[in-house]
Amino acid sequence: MSGPAEDEQRARAYTVRMELIDEPGELLNALAPIAERGGNLLSIYHERGSLTPRGRIPVEVAIECVPGRFEEIVRGLRAAGITVIQAGEDRYSEALTLILVGHLVDTDLSDTLERLEACPNATIRDIALETPDDREAVSSARVRLAVDREGLDETLAGVHTVADEKDLRVIEPQIEEGI
């Protein structure tokens, strides 16, 4: 049986959301404070084609470290001039895979993805878009979201709100536990 001191030394998963300037080397600059302070990189979601309202690139990094190191990592990022938007324990426990069908490109796919990403209980993990040769035909996208189990209903409601406004059909959900 482990005691409180041992639990404090167990590595945990954390998520850090940042905004980076679109310049060579910025992603490397953001990763350096993590490595220097003993963080183990689990994944990076770097969406260069999308910009935040401040005109920067959104980046989400999942790391693993012991609890005491995490605050050091966040302070190190900020000291390096990195804009940290959100930092905390990884709250995602499931993957939700949806299929969106409709005129995705014509209804501003970038806006659709931004609005899905704005759901408070989810983050986009990946997307695959299929567009037909005929511009009048509908396209489809498989969207995989990491979601908080407790916020699943709220996330689905947000997806349906966006889909209804853009006249998109939603084929849902395929849920995977333990991502």
- For the chain of 179 residues, list the mean pLDDT of each consecutive stretch of 10: 55 88 91 94 82 81 89 92 79 74 89 83 79 85 79 86 94 61
pLDDT of residue 147: 77
Residues in CB range of 108: below 8 A, 6 or more apart: none
Q: Which domains does the chain have, with CATH numbers?
A: 4-89 (3.30.70.260), 94-177 (3.30.70.260)
pLDDT of residue 115: 87
pLDDT of residue 169: 95
Q: Are 117 and 92 in contact (CB under 8 A)?
A: no
pLDDT of residue 39: 93
pLDDT of residue 1: 47
- Nearest to 97, CA basis, from 13, 170, 165, 178: 170
